Amino acid sequence: MDERFPNASPSSSSTSDRAASENDATSLRKQGHASSSSSTQPSLNDLDGWIAHLKDKNQHLPESAVEALCAHAKDVLHQEPNCATIRCPVTVAGDVHGQYHDLLEMFRMGGSPPDTNYLFLGDYVDRGYFSVECFSLLLCFKIRYPQRVTILRGNHESRQITQVYGFYDECLRKYNGSPRVWKLFTSLFDALPLVALIEEKIFAQHGGLSPQISTIDEIQTSIHRFQEVPHEGAMCDLLWSDPDDRVGWGMSPRGAGHTFGEDVSRKWNHTNGLYLIARAHQLVMEGFNWSHNKEVVTIFSAPNYCYRCGNQAAIMEVSSTILTPPPDATSSAGGGGAANASGAGSAVKVDGESKSGEGAEEDGESGEAKGPHWASFLQFDPAPRRGQMTGSLFHFGDKTPDYFL
């Protein structure tokens, strides 16, 4: 299911005959027009109204609201560095890919902003049917609670990729054949931060490492991120690369980015004083997967990916105990307890296994690594079907869209 970088620029898709209905409240339209036509930012009431509209009415925002939201979001994101600084506790989420009902299920299981501090690792759009709703909601949360929500750029937050894998077509269907909302969102993608650093111990990103980058400081100073994702170079690598069972660097079969071995991950973590690389970008069947002798963890947060893969999803919860020494070797592991029920539905919380050494805890009897005392994973299955989204759903019949294949 891993996508490849398109070999050539795609042609624009034709407009669907069925224009998505826009059954939005008159007050919502007025809020959007007022915000976009004035120099003032959207009010808290505007943002709360848009969040409620998305969550409760299950409808996409009107174009005027999207315009106002993107205008203010761009101002906020332009103030953020290439590498965002994250404090604990924080919940880290991987790919979402337009699976809006599952995003709401994630918030139901893991908590919703501002009660839970979130870091999202990119790929909010494409593949799923509700990319517009997913990114709109995350953007509303980011602007409403800027210190509690961080959204990074993934390789799908790109003009070229979204024309191939579904987001462009979805915007046309939901906004009466106009590409304007797609242009607003893709322009905003250019402002998203590239990576994040959690308590100076966890390096978080969408894709992987780059042979052109040796330190986190170089990401801050040497990359101009306010552009379309380039086909090569350090910025491309951060969004496209993957860990691999190899030594050193290799060319990625995706056609963009690199593959890198355990020796590369270990050197990066040692050089930058890190415990861990946390990334997304690849489907993993249990929602999270350790690699490179637990120097790297991959997190994937879209359950039953593309509505057919049968995988679980997961989010990683990092506690404030990352700032403290590991507990006594004879005490129980932190992070929530192995296989503890999360409270409802199909979510299960498990301790994250980790390498022995700094930041990891050993079992008092066997000496085996039980996992860091500061991390646990909340696994969840697809959201229960509670009815379809009105005004946003478009129908494909029994045919799987080409961009799922």
pTM of the model: 0.82
What is the radius of gyration, based on Cα positions, of the chain? 21
Q: Is residue 122 part of a domain?
A: yes
Q: Which of 162, 152, 165 is nearest to 183 (CA)?
A: 162
Q: How far is CA 102 from CA 14, 82, 144, 206, 213, in A?
A: 29, 28, 21, 19, 35
Select the more confidently predicted residue: 56 or 360: 56
Q: Is residue 355 part of a domain?
A: no
Q: Is residue 229 part of a domain?
A: yes
Q: Is residue 61 part of a domain?
A: yes
Mean pLDDT of 155-183: 98
Q: Is residue 115 part of a domain?
A: yes
CA atoms within 13 A on the CB side of 327: 14
Tens digits of per-residue pLDDT, 258-276? 999 999 999 999 999 999 9
The CATH number given to whatever domain includes residue 98 is 3.60.21.10
Q: Is residue 6 part of a domain?
A: no
Rounded to whole angstroms, the Cα distance separating 203 from 196 reads: 6
Q: Which of 234, 232, 262, 231 is nearest to 248 (CA)?
A: 262
Categorize the per-residue pLDDT at 371 as very low, low, confident or very high, splitting at 50, 70 and 90.
Answer: low
- Number of separate domains in the chain: 1
Contact 256, 241 (CB under 8 A): no
Range of the domain at 101: 41-313
Question: Which of 53, 60, 97, 156 is labelled catalytic?
Answer: 156
> CB neighbours (10 Å) of residue 392?
23
Write phi, then psi, for 105 (nearest 5 degrees). -65, -40
Residue 270 annotated to the active site: no
Q: Is residue 34 part of a domain?
A: no
Tens digits of per-residue pLDDT, 108-153? 999 999 999 999 999 999 999 999 999 999 999 999 999 999 999 9
Q: Is residue 63 part of a domain?
A: yes
